[in-house]
Chains A and B, each alone.
Chain A
């Protein structure tokens, strides 16, 4: 948790300082993508390695998917409302 903050702050300070060589910025996109794929691959292994989760995937999966879907719909709608009512000035 704290190391995450520190990584972000350290990156932000380095970016802010403009002291990194220009060529470095060309690779930040690729670094981001590779880091993400490693993360998702590791998450997949955690799921595949857990028999309990695989066994319950069908029976509980539908309920889980329903909550996830409606959580996303609800939160998008509320933020959409906020964007129209409050954040109009900051929007593009």
Chain B
């Protein structure tokens, strides 16, 4: 499964680099959007079928919001922790981390607000987060318990990494992953500029 994913991305990079399917490039956005919608449609069907999920969610109540806040806190602690070792100011490392895997937006934001260099780091870092999440979600769910499967994907837990959470941890955790991902997605455009303008 992971091999299939890596192969898909690598094949895409090679195709993009070689300029094969050059006429196809302009349709990437449309195709990605369609694929994403198809993906979420089928995940939605799975969620809707499992009616006991909603019952369980109601039992969690307000505590559900602690999940995205916990993912955000852990991400920022980890980013701050490593900032000195990679020679980045703490606030810049936090801004990159606060992309939560949403590489397109965080890359563009930091490219505009700071420098193309930080924009590239943000883009790559959040691409890596998504790729690493896909690989590590099954392991994390197995070793640390099913709830931790919502953590690696960050904001991508609502779309691209959601199927992996669903597979590794079950549909009820996938619902929490979606809620967590949606909340984190909303936080990205708020936190990234905030950290950039935070003098440290």
Main secondary structure of the interface of A (DSSP, over half): helix
Which residues of chain A in 38-65 are interfacial with respect to chain B, using CB atoms and an 8 Å cutoff?
A: 38-50, 52-54, 56-57, 60-65
B114 contacts partner chain A, Cβ-Cβ < 8 Å = no
**Number of contacting residues on B, CB 8 A?**
94
Question: How many CB-defined contacts (below 8 Å) exist between A and B?
Answer: 288
B76 contacts partner chain A, Cβ-Cβ < 8 Å = yes
B32 CB, min distance to chain A CBs, angstroms: 5
B17 CB, min distance to chain A CBs, angstroms: 4
* 8 Å CB contact of B43 from A32, A37, A62: A32
Q: Is the CB of A11 within 8 A of B8?
A: no
Interface residues of B (CB under 8 A from A): 4-5, 8-19, 21, 24-25, 28, 31-33, 35-51, 56, 59-60, 63, 66-67, 70-79, 81-82, 85-88, 93, 96-97, 100, 116-117, 120-129, 132-133, 136, 140, 144-148, 150-152, 154, 158-160, 163, 178
Interface residues of A (CB under 8 A from B): 3-4, 7-18, 20, 24-25, 28, 31-33, 35-50, 52-54, 56-57, 60-83, 86-87, 89-92
